[in-house]
C-alpha cells in the first residue's frame, strides 16, 4: 500500500467544546487539539446569524470596537438599506441602544463560545496530525480530501475513533502502488512539502544579526524536520526527492547568509 485517502463529514448538530475535549481524551488524542472559541470569533459568528443584516466594523474607541448593523430589504424591485443600530464590543460583552438585538447577540455569542462547527472539527483533525509531526496532504486546493502515507496510518484509526465519538464520519480509501496512482501521489506530496518550505522561507524573512539565538535554533530545527520528512517520503516522492532536498538546503543557506550579512 502507498497510503490512505481520507475525508470526513461533521456531525449534523453543533458540537459542545467540553464534549469535544472529552472525546479527544477518550480517543487517545491530546486535548489541546480542541481550542476554546475566543470572544472575538464568537461575536463574528453570532452577528453572521442575524437575519437580513449586514454588520460592519466602523470605529475603534480605545478598547471598544463599534459595529454598524444595517438591514437590507427589497422594495419596488430595488434593494434598500437602513441603519438598525450600533453594537459596541468591549471587555467581553456587547452593548447596544437596541435592547432586543443586544440580548439576541449576547445569547448567540454565548452559544458560539460553547459550541463548535465543522470548520473547527477540520482544524482539530489537522492539529492532531501536526502535533504528531505527521502529514495530511491535501489532494485538492479547496481541501476536504487528503492523503496520509501508509507508515502514518495508525493515526488515521485514532482520528476515526475521535470523529465517531463526536457523531461524525471518517471516510478512508486505501491506495495501491499502481503506476498512475503513484505518480499522482508523488506530485501532491511534492507540492505539499514545497508549501511547507515556502512557509519556512517566509518565517526567515525577518532574520538579521540581532535575531535571538533561540529563534535561530528553532528555524534550524524546522529545516532539519523538513529534510527528515523528505527523506522519510523519498519512496513516495520518487525522482522529486533529490530536487526537494536541494531546495531545502539552498533555502537554509540563504537564511544563514541573511543573518551573516545583516
Q: Is a pLDDT exceeding 90 seen at residue 145?
A: yes
Cα 148 from Cα 236, distance rounded (Å): 11
Question: Where residue 216 falls among pLDDT bands split at 50, 70, 90?
Answer: confident
**Mean of the pLDDT values across residues 103-115?**
95
Percent of the chain surpassing pLDDT 70? 98
Comparing C-alpha atoms, which of 24, 180, 182 is closest to residue 116? 24
What lies within 8 Å, CB to CB, of 246 at 6+ separation is: none
pLDDT of residue 141: 80
pLDDT of residue 261: 61
Summarised one tens digit per residue, pLDDT across range 45-96 is 999 998 888 999 998 877 899 999 999 888 889 988 999 999 999 888 999 9
Cα 129 from Cα 155, distance rounded (Å): 8
Cell numbers placing 183: 505518480
Q: Which long-range contacts (CB under 8 A, 24 or more apart) does 191-195 make?
A: 192/135, 192/137, 192/138, 193/226, 193/229, 193/230, 193/233, 193/237, 193/244, 194/244, 194/247
Helix (H) or strand (E) holding 258: helix 240-261
Per DSSP bridges, beta strands 78-90 and 64-75 are antiparallel
pLDDT of residue 151: 92
**Mean of the pLDDT values across residues 205-218?**
85
Q: At which residue does the C-alpha cell 437596541 appear?
A: 98
Stronger pLDDT, 22 or 261, i.e. the higher one: 22
Q: Is a pLDDT exceeding 80 seen at residue 157?
A: yes
Q: Is a pLDDT exceeding 70 seen at residue 130?
A: yes
Burial of 26 (C-beta count, 10 Å sphere; 0-12/13-18/19+)? exposed
Q: Is a pLDDT exceeding 80 seen at residue 1?
A: no
Question: Where residue 143 falls among pLDDT bands split at 50, 70, 90?
Answer: confident
**Mean of the pLDDT values across residues 191-196?**
94
Q: Is a pLDDT exceeding 80 seen at residue 258?
A: no
What lies within 8 Å, CB to CB, of 65 at 6+ separation is: 57, 59, 88, 89, 90
pLDDT of residue 193: 95
Question: Where residue 159 falls among pLDDT bands split at 50, 70, 90?
Answer: very high
Question: Where residue 169 falls among pLDDT bands split at 50, 70, 90?
Answer: very high
pLDDT of residue 126: 95
Q: Is a pLDDT exceeding 90 seen at residue 150?
A: yes
Q: Is a pLDDT exceeding 70 seen at residue 121?
A: yes
Amino acid at each position: 500500500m502507498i497510503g490512505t485517502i481520507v475525508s470526513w463529514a461533521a456531525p449534523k448538530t453543533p458540537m459542545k467544546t467540553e464534549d469535544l475535549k472529552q472525546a479527544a481524551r477518550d480517543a487517545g488524542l491530546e486535548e489541546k487539539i480542541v481550542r476554546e472559541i475566543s470572544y472575538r470569533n464568537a461575536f463574528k459568528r453570532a452577528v453572521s446569524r442575524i437575519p437580513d443584516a449586514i454588520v460592519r466594523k466602523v470605529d475603534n474607541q480605545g478598547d471598544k470596537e463599534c459595529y454598524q448593523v444595517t438591514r437590507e430589504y427589497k422594495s419596488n424591485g430595488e434593494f434598500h438599506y437602513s441603519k438598525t443600530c450600533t453594537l459596541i464590543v468591549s471587555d467581553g460583552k456587547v452593548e447596544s441602544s437596541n435592547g432586543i438585538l443586544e440580548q439576541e447577540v449576547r445569547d448567540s455569542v454565548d452559544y458560539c463560545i460553547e459550541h463548535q462547527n465543522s470548520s473547527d472539527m477540520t482544524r482539530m483533525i489537522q492539529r492532531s496530525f501536526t502535533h504528531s509531526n505527521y502529514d495530511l496532504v491535501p489532494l485538492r486546493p479547496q481541501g476536504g480530501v487528503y492523503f496520509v502515507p501508509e507508515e502514518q496510518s495508525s493515526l488515521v484509526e485514532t482520528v476515526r475513533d475521535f470523529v465517531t465519538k463526536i457523531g461524525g464520519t471518517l471516510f478512508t480509501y486505501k491506495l495501491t502502488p499502481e503506476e498512475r496512482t503513484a505518480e499522482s501521489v508523488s506530485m501532491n506530496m511534492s507540492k505539499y512539502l514545497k508549501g511547507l518550505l515556502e512557509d519556512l522561507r517566509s518565517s526567515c524573512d525577518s532574520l538579521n544579526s540581532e535575531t535571538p539565538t533561540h529563534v535561530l535554533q528553532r528555524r534550524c530545527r524546522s529545516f532539519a524536520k523538513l529534510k527528515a520528512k523528505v527523506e522519510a517520503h523519498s519512496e513516495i516522492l520518487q525522482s522529486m526527492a533529490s530536487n526537494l532536498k536541494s531546495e531545502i538546503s539552498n533555502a537554509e543557506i540563504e537564511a544563514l547568509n541573511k543573518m551573516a550579512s545583516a
